[in-house]
């Protein structure tokens, strides 16, 4: 039997990548002063981030801790997911920015600038998706 939650995770991956790419393009443009550099970095991330995000989402879907455990279906879970995803995402951004610009300091600046903006955006994205039942046929 196919897992219906896969549709949900694919849709979340796509919507998050749109939000994340726009943020990366704008931040990269501001830091490099070059709009085309921002576009190059943002577009380079599309493939890597979609794959990384999908696997991150699948891993977190498998984490089922009881209400007495560390996390459940709650804000705490979304905050922890936010931090784990941001770690993966920031490393990817830093490496891609370094490769594209040829400057490790620029990669570091872009990656670190994303820490705050992406964590806020990701948390909001998680909360919106938590409120929708798309891909969760058994959830009321």
Structure tokens at 75: 């804000």
Q: At residue 44, does pLDDT exceed 80?
A: yes
Q: What pLDDT, on the 0 to 100 scale, is given for residue 1?
A: 46
Tell the residue number behind the tokens 């190059």, with chain if given: 40
Distance CA 45, CA 135 (A): 26
Structural domain count of the chain: 1
The answer to whether 115 and 33 are in contact (CB under 8 A) is no
Note whether residue 138 is domain-resident.
no
Domain that holds residue 126: 5-130
Note whether residue 58 is domain-resident.
yes
Note whether residue 73 is domain-resident.
yes
Note whether residue 113 is domain-resident.
yes
Dihedral sign (CA 59, 64, 65, 70): positive
Higher pLDDT, 40 or 49: 40
Note whether residue 140 is domain-resident.
no
* Listed residue (21, 32, 29) closest to 93, CA to CA: 21
Distance CA 104, CA 109 (A): 9
Q: What is the pLDDT of residues 9-27, one digit of tens each?
A: 889 888 988 998 999 999 9
Q: What pLDDT, on the 0 to 100 scale, is given for residue 82?
A: 81
Higher pLDDT, 107 or 64: 107
């Amino acid at each position: 039997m196919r897992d219906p939650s896969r549709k949900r995770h694919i849709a979340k991956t796509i919507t998050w990548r749109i939000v994340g790419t726009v943020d990366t393009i704008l931040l990269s443009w501001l830091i490099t002063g070059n709009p085309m550099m921002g576009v190059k970095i943002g577009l380079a991330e599309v493939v890597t981030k979609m794959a990384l995000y999908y696997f991150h989402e699948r891993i977190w879907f498998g984490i089922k801790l009881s209400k007495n455990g560390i996390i459940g279906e709650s804000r705490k879970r979304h905050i922890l997911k936010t931090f784990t995803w941001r770690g993966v995402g920031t490393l990817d951004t830093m490496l891609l920015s370094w490769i594209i610009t040829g400057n490790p300091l620029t990669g570091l600046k872009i990656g670190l600038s994303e820490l705050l903006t992406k964590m806020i955006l990701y948390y909001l994205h998680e909360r919106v998706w938590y409120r929708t039942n798309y891909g969760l046929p058994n959830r009321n």
